[in-house]
Amino acid sequence: MLTPKRLFDVIDHQLQHFPKETMLAAKENGHWRSYSTQQIQQLSLQLSAGIRSLGISGNDFTPEGSDKVAIISNNRPEWVITDLAVQQCGAILVPLYPTTNPLEIEFILNDSKVTTIFVSSADLLDKIKGVQANVPTLQHIFTFNNIEGARNWRELLVTDETQLQAIQNIRSQIPTSHLATIIYTSGTTGTPKGVMLSHSNIYSNVMFSKESFPFEDAPESKVLSFLPLNHIFEKTVTYIYLYSGISIYYAESLDTIGDNLKEVQPDGFTTVPRLLEKVFEKIMHTGSQLTGIKRKLFFWAVALGTQYDNRINKGWWYNLQLALANRLIFNKWRAALGGNVKYIVTGGAACQVKLLRIFNAAQIPVYEGYGPTENSPVICVNRKTPGGKKFGTVGPPISGIEVKLAADGEILVSGPCVMVGYYKRPDLTAEAVIDGWLHTGDIGEWDEGFLKITDRKKELFKTSGGKYVAPQPIENKLKESAFIEQVLVVGPERKFVGALIVPSFSTLQSWMKENNIPFTGKEQAIREPKVIEQYQKIIDKYNQLFNHVEQIKKFELLPVEWGIDTGEMTPKMSLRRKVIMEKYAAEIEKIYADNN
């Protein structure tokens, strides 16, 4: 039976079992700066005392009675220090994505009655100041960067021993049932919901996941962190790392991941499929620039990778060829990731099976997992144990929880990781958690004890002919084409299924050059008849894999990639279907113009 602990107990655990010179690290003024376990303990206690001096505390340790402190920042050691400090004085952390729009920020700060917020940079400071007048509870703003005219977080650090001892006393009184955080969903379908997660919720998920994730206690190893800490997946994984003694290095930005991987040479990292797709697209673009025997070898190796299956021995000839491909081609891929990667854990959306096969064939182990914020979050993950990984699935359930499928295929989960509820929304809580079972909203099926996600319940749609269509599997299959960067399947209440497609313009441009078609810009390219004909051939090829009702009859090519900043993707890089369908309503109507 697992004995619950508070998340901040991780510092004592690390000091006792593997005190580290590098607990956390980040680039400062162009150089990596390390923070030891001892320094993190000291800074978090000093900051906690400073936060308490503002009148912030846990009060009666209830969701309503405890003060709320917000944070909006990139990943950095100060993020974790603030998280620990807020926990230790009994307050509740409310994290915000840096990309959150001002209206949602205003709603979240007012809904949770935040009194104090920590921001990293000048642009985020401006964003918060822009809504401050409409948030009456917000009294204090502190910055991590040194910004003229702003209060720096270090001003809050308290060194007085009496006040530090007071924090130690408060720490000892905080129950494991107390909320560690309220994480607001991104609001893709309406008003954001505040998911209340207790110390016990997250700690139990950390410990159960730790048994299943592809690493053990490893004080000599290190990871690179770049997924937003505001998301529960990266936060939970952070505490898995810390409880395992693994050093965490923070990437400077998404744009510097490649350079940071080579500098840090991490043993692993967590990611989302969209970033893996980007990495693969870059690799394939580099390969397409090769000529002669080098080009032939490159695509021979990739073709071998697409056939890889960790559960099937394809015989000595295939194994010999794959070993040669690893020596000649894939070793360069591994070097680009730092040369030391032993595991990559991906979640947040379904990963293309093609990518899983190729990366694993290249001795870059990718383990797909799954879980919603409401379960703290992990429900399933593939394992590194023999037979513990099955491509196309999210793995078996982790220890300590129960998983079952409802009659309609919805995934239900029960156990200590299930959220306390939605903040101030008992009505929504009652809809989501029924008789102790969290209704995830995801549709799945079992495959030899492995869970396979087939779609989101709310994303299933019905054509005007009354046939149900699950868009995600179709989209994931289409994205296997090197020519398709992004795709959204459309067709609710229409006569047939259509698609909005964002081409992979690097691949398309190379193809146009090979076929003597001038490339003068993206807008011109998507209107070029031979380009449209090429995409029709691609659609025709993949349509053979779908049932008649699922086949794409018409499509529209789009010139601009969907992104977080432009609103079409969530911060965890999932498509915002409603936003895209509203934004490209004219293009969708064009698909159906002659068929209504």
- The CATH number corresponding to 460-592 among 3.30.300.30, 3.30.230.10, 3.40.50.150, 1.20.1250.20 equals 3.30.300.30
Domain with CATH 3.40.50.980 in the chain: 38-174
Fold of 269-457: Rossmann fold (3.40.50)
Dist CA 548 CA 463 (whole Å): 12
Model's pTM, two decimal places?
Answer: 0.88
SS3 content of the chain, % helix, strand, coil (to 5): 40, 20, 40
Alpha-carbon torsion (439, 443, 447, 450), positive or negative: negative
Contact 439, 432 (CB under 8 A): yes
Dist CA 451 CA 5 (whole Å): 29
Q: Which residues pair with 457 in a beta bridge?
A: none
Place of tokens 């053979």: 544
Please choose, from the candidates 498, 522, 502, 497, the residue with its C-alpha nearest in 3D space to the C-alpha of residue 512. 522
Which class does domain 38-174 fall in? alpha beta
Element (H, E) at 499: strand 497-503
pLDDT per residue, tens digit, the chain (596 aa), is: 789 899 999 999 999 999 999 999 999 999 999 999 999 999 999 999 999 999 999 888 999 999 999 999 999 999 999 999 999 999 999 999 998 889 999 999 999 999 999 999 999 999 999 999 999 999 999 999 999 999 999 999 999 999 999 999 999 999 999 999 999 986 444 688 999 999 999 999 999 999 887 677 889 999 999 999 999 999 999 999 999 999 999 999 989 999 999 999 999 999 999 899 889 989 998 998 999 999 999 999 999 999 999 999 999 999 999 999 999 999 999 999 999 999 999 998 889 999 999 999 999 999 999 999 999 999 999 998 888 999 999 999 999 999 999 999 999 999 999 999 999 999 999 999 999 999 999 999 999 999 999 888 888 888 888 888 889 889 999 999 999 999 999 998 899 999 999 999 999 999 999 999 999 999 999 999 999 999 999 999 999 999 888 999 999 999 999 998 898 998 878 888 989 999 999 999 999 986 44
Please choose, from the candidates 96, 88, 78, 87, the residue with its C-alpha nearest in 3D space to the C-alpha of residue 25. 78
Domain with CATH 3.30.300.30 in the chain: 460-592
Tokens of 392: 């196309």
